[in-house]
Amino acid sequence: MAVLVKRGWRPGLIGEVVTAQALYYAREWGFGLVFETKVAREMAAFLDRYDPKLDRLFSVEDQGRLLGSLAIDGGDPDLPAAEAHLRWFILTDAARGHGIGRLLMSEAMSFLTETGFRSCHLTTFAGLTPARRLYEAAGFTLVGEQESLTWGKKVVEQRFVVDLRAGA
C-alpha cells in the first residue's frame, strides 16, 4: 500500500469522510440518519471556519482512494484558548491493520505540539477498543463517561484528554 498523507480540504473529501463514518457506524453500531447528519453538519461548520494556524484536517489516500481521516479542531469557539478537539478519526476497512491509524495519530500529535496547544480532548464511546488503544498510546486518558443519545443511539460516551504541556 503506497499511502499519501494530505493536509486540508480537497474536492469531495467532506463527502468521503461522512460516507466512511456513516457506513462503518451503521454497520457496526446501528447508527443512522441522526449520526450521519451530525457528522456532515459539524464537519461543514469546521471547514467553514478553518484556520490552518489552528486547525488541521488529515486524510490518508492510496491511489486517490480515501483510507482514513482525522481532524484537529483548534479554532472551536466553544473551547478555551490553547485547547483543541480531535475529531472524525476513521479508517476504511481496507486501511485497518496497516499502521495508518498510528500514522494519522502521529501527524495529529505533531501538529498539536508544533502549534503550542496545552491540551486536546476527544469524545468517543465505549467499545471502540482499537481506537482507544491508539488514543492511550498517544497519551490520552479517560476523564469521564456517561450514557448519551447524541450519537443517535444510546451509548456510553467517553471523554479523553491529553495534557500537552512540557513535563505534564
pLDDT digits (tens, 9 = 90+) for 98-138: 899 999 999 999 999 999 999 999 999 999 999 999 999 99
Query: What pTM did the predictor assign?
Result: 0.93
What are the grid coordinates assigned to 76, written together?
472551536
Q: Regarding beta strands 65-73 and 3-7, do their DSSP bridges make them parallel or antiparallel, or are they unpaired?
A: unpaired
Percent of the chain clearing pLDDT 90 (strictly above): 84
- List residues bridging with 61 in a β-sheet: 4, 66
Specify the pLDDT at position 4: 82
- Asked if pLDDT for residue 168 goes beyond 80, the answer is no
131, 132, 137, 143 alpha-carbon torsion, rounded to 10°: 140
Q: Where are the domains of the chain?
A: 3-117
pLDDT in tens, 84-101: 999 999 999 888 888 999
- Asked if pLDDT for residue 41 goes beyond 60, the answer is yes
Q: b/e for 53-86, b at 16 or more Cβ within 10 A? A: ebbbbbbbbbeeebbbbbbbbbbbeeeeeebbbb
**Quick one: how far is CA 11 from the chain centroid?**
19
CATH of the domain spanning 3-117? 3.40.630.30
